């Protein structure tokens, strides 16, 4: 559905994205995972023609997207990392504006607004100015706004960044519901547990390079199913094993404190990139 062919983006001397080749299938929940500054937002911005690739091409349904590709844009809904709500308008007016912008007829517009306010649990706040909403409510209103025109593909750039754990879980449920309704979802995140909990396939990106692309389970398997965390001399190191017995056997040879546990996506990311979200680890 979305095909990236040798896509690169360079700003001055900095390569934000390097030779990206990947394909997002229709109807899947795809996650792009990487630390801050990995190039995730640049990929989203290039997908929506907000910034042009330096080289390569992005095709959506076989067509290249441009700033004036109105027919392709009609299929997309995008939730950026930061609020893009009209802060001086009410929740209702924000949805109404979006509906008008996407050419929805009046009756459909009104019906969709009522449905989506209900879906986002914001009906009681519909006459309140968006500026007065909490971060979680703003994010839900942004997602509701994006759904106004019934898009086929939804792009979410770090949809839960800056939100507390409870609100994040609510947003997850909200996204799962959308997935059940058949929407194709392309999400970027630097929360590894978020990608593991929601995505059917995950692309790991670091310093503009796509390192691996597979299901979360296979990515974890590629690193090793079990992890031995060893804490010694003020430093935690990790070792990966195919089975628990091997991990325990290695632990018995270890000095200092240790813990054997099942590996997760974060462990795989650390092993594959040799970095945590800003914290270097010895492996």
Partner 1 sequence: MRFSSIIWKEWLVLKNKFISTTLGAIVGPLLFLVAFGWGLGNAVEIDGGSYIDFVIPGIIAMLTMTTSFNVVANDINISRVYSKTFEAVMIAPIKTAVFVLARVTASALRGLYGAALILVIALLFGANLHIDWYFVLVLILNCFVFSTAGIIAGIIVDSHADMAKITSFVITPMSFLSGTFFPLDRFPDFLRVIFELLPLTQAIIGLREGVSAAGSWIVPVALFGYLIVMLPISVILCRRAE
Interface positions with partner 1 (CB under 8 A) = 45, 48-51, 67-68, 70-71, 73-74, 76, 78, 80, 82-89, 93, 97-98, 100-103, 129
For residues 85 and 122, which CB has a smaller minimum distance to partner 1 in the complex?
A: 85
Provide the minimum distance between the beta carbon of 213 and partner 1 in the complex, in angstroms, as a whole number.
25
For residues 152 and 276, which CB has a smaller minimum distance to partner 1 in the complex?
A: 152
Contact 236, 281 (CB under 8 A): yes
Provide the minimum distance between the beta carbon of 74 and partner 1 in the complex, in angstroms, as a whole number.
4
For residues 83 and 264, which CB has a smaller minimum distance to partner 1 in the complex?
A: 83
Say how far apart CA 77 and CA 169 lie, in whole Å.
Answer: 21
For residues 97 and 174, which CB has a smaller minimum distance to partner 1 in the complex?
A: 97
Provide the minimum distance between the beta carbon of 184 and partner 1 in the complex, in angstroms, as a whole number.
16
Provide the minimum distance between the beta carbon of 189 and partner 1 in the complex, in angstroms, as a whole number.
19
Cα atoms in the Cβ-side hemisphere of radius 13 Å centred on 161: 16
Provide the minimum distance between the beta carbon of 86 and partner 1 in the complex, in angstroms, as a whole number.
6
Distances (CA, A) of 82 to 2, 48, 167: 23, 16, 16
Say how far apart CA 251 and CA 237 lie, in whole Å.
Answer: 12
Contact 205, 38 (CB under 8 A): yes
How is residue 255 written in tokens? Answer: 């000095």
For residues 26 and 67, which CB has a smaller minimum distance to partner 1 in the complex?
A: 67
For residues 105 and 182, which CB has a smaller minimum distance to partner 1 in the complex?
A: 105
Contact 208, 18 (CB under 8 A): yes
Cβ-based neighbour number of residue 50 at 10 Å? 13
Say how far apart CA 118 and CA 84 lie, in whole Å.
Answer: 21
Provide the minimum distance between the beta carbon of 137 and partner 1 in the complex, in angstroms, as a whole number.
17
């Amino acid at each position: 559905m979305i095909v990236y062919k040798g896509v690169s983006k360079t700003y001055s001397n900095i390569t934000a994205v390097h030779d990206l080749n990947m394909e997002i299938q229709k109807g899947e929940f795809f996650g792009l995972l990487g630390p801050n500054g990995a190039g995730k937002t640049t990929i989203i911005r290039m997908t929506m023609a907000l910034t042009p690739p330096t080289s390569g091409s992005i095709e959506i349904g076989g067509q290249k997207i441009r700033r004036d590709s109105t027919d392709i844009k009609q299929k997309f809904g995008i939730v950026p990392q930061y609020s893009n709500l009209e802060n001086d308008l009410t929740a209702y007016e924000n949805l109404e504006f979006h509906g008008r912008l996407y050419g929805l007829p009046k009756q459909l517009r009104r019906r969709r607004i009522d449905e989506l306010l209900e879906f986002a649990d914001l009906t009681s706040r519909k006459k309140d100015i968006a500026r007065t909403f909490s971060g979680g409510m703003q994010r839900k209103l942004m997602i509701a706004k994006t759904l106004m025109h019934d898009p086929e593909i939804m792009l979410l750039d770090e949809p839960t960044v800056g939100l507390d754990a409870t609100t994040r879980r609510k947003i997850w449920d909200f996204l799962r519901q959308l997935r059940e309704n058949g929407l194709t979802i392309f999400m970027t995140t630097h929360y590894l547990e978020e990608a593991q909990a929601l995505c059917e396939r995950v692309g790991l990106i670091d310093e503009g390079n796509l390192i691996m692309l597979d299901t979360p389970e296979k990515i974890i398997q590629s690193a090793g199913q079990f992890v031995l965390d060893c804490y010694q001399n003020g430093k935690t190191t990790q070792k990966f094993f195919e089975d628990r017995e091997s991990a325990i056997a290695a632990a018995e040879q270890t000095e200092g404190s240790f813990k054997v546990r099942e590996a997760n996506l974060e462990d795989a990311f650390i092993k594959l990139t040799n970095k945590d979200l800003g914290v270097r680890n010895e492996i």
